[in-house]
Amino acid sequence: MQLGGGGLGNTNVLAGAGMFLAGICLMLSGMWCMFLGNTFGGTVFTVFGGIWLSYGYVMAPSSGIVASYASIEDFQHAMAAYVATWTLFAFMCWALTFKSTVMFCAQFMWLSLLFLTATIQLYTNSKAWLKVTGVFSLLNGAFGMYNMFAGMADETNSYFVIKSMCMPGAQDPAKI
């Protein structure tokens, strides 16, 4: 949608997807990760679930939040400050992937750049930055799908199993 594909201008559909598909599903995933002892996964999933829930609520016309601002520029600057906070969180999470796999680290790099460019776009209201944000969003999504498949596919459920490549200096989890 950020790339302007299909002539889509109104992105209100993201409010529902953000709140329910991304928000609630990520929150539940985070709780399950915590239960299993995966602190990184639990923290990341829960926080990003909260981000999506709050974003969905803010963007829902029924919340009245967008309409409460004097101008769209005031709203965008407020959102830029909000997104800047999550940019910092994303970069901190990325730093915690430097001893994981190459693709997992790359996904958090794209996520961090996505939040950074979204912050810039909201401050500048630039269509060019919106397109750059859209590209980073697509890359993050593609790497997320790859990592999901790599994490779930094994010899019992797939003919295609992906061998993870660890970052330099990282221990291969299969050998621990």
Q: Are the beta carbons of 144 and 107 closer than 8 angstroms?
A: yes
Q: How far apart are CA 149 and CA 155, in angstroms?
A: 13
What residues contact residue 64 under an 8 Å CB cut-off, 6+ apart?
Answer: none
pLDDT at 1 over 50: no
Instruction: Give the pLDDT confidence of 102-136 residue by residue, as tens digits.
Output: 999 999 999 999 999 999 999 999 999 999 999 99
Helix, strand, or coil (residue 12): coil
Question: How many other CB atoms are found less than 10 A from the CB of residue 156?
Answer: 6
Q: Are the beta carbons of 1 and 134 closer than 8 angstroms?
A: yes
Residue boundaries of the structural domains of the chain: 1-68, 70-170
Does the reported pTM lie above 0.85? yes
Instruction: Give the pLDDT confidence of 51-108 residue by residue, as tens digits.
Output: 999 998 998 889 999 999 999 999 999 999 999 999 999 999 999 999 999 999 999 9
